[in-house]
Copies of this chain bind each other. A is one copy, B any other.
Amino acid sequence: MHESIDALSRGGGLAAWRQIADALEGEIATGDLAPGAQLPTEAALAARFSVNRHTVRRALATLAERGLIRASQGRGTFVEAAPLAYPIGRRTRFSEIVTGAGREPWGDLITHREIAAPPECAAMLAVPEGAPLLELLTVHRADGVPLSTARTWLPLPRFAGFAPAYERSGSITRALAACGVPDYTRASTRIRARLADPAEAARLDLTPGRVVIVVSSVNVDGEGVPVQANRAVFAADRVEVVVGT
């Protein structure tokens, strides 16, 4: 590998570390440094820009802060994969989003059972507290990589046949259609963030203590009747939630 020597404008009021950060950000933006690619070592970058390694580290720190790169002790520094853009709107469909990104969607049904509606779910679904609900625990993948794990609640007895239909099709949309709900729209969405608990980390194939985005939503049928409440937990570094346009 042949590394060029890039000259920085010194003493021109623009800090050397900022010029280095901008140069590297440009190479990432143009795809010269593709997602997943390893950056030159800090020592190599220091030589290329003719600066101390500390100066390079400061530049890398600003890029890492913004999630463009990730440093791994003993291994190197790598360009982060661009997170999957997950648009949230009135007609959000997981399968359409993943398919639109050129990847293969699938939802695995982990467990399902009947429960009495706890207060929070009862309010979201507009049913009495303690009413029978079907609770499903699912994991959603794109090209096999888990993006989210979700708990879904549906009122019983209306959706008694939902679980087997979901297991067959791997799709909320198709399973709802099998229960006589040809169309649904998203009524409300709340977005929070916290650390993954061990169970979520295992389901998402994350190291414990990583950040997750929690999206709680309610879907309603054509008559505005709530058919499904949902709490999806996304791996924060694999997904970016996009609102509106």
Contacts and interface: CB of A to CB of B under 8 A. Distances in A.
B189 A242 contact: yes
Interface in A203-220: 211-213
Interface string A86-98: 0011100000000
Given A67-B194, A193-B211, A236-B192, A118 B243 contact: no
Contacts of A129: 26
A186 to B, nearest CB: 7
A119 B26 contact: yes
A233 to B, nearest CB: 10
Contacts of A22: 116, 118-119
B29 A120 contact: yes
Nearest to A194: B211
A195 interface: yes
A188 B236 CA distance: 19
A89 B187 CA distance: 14
A21 interface: yes
Contacts of A18: 115, 118
A188 B242 contact: yes
A221 interface: no
A236 B194 CA distance: 7
A25 interface: yes
Interface of A: 14, 18, 21-22, 25-26, 29, 65-67, 83, 85, 88-90, 115-116, 118-120, 123, 129, 186-195, 197, 211-213, 236-237, 240-245
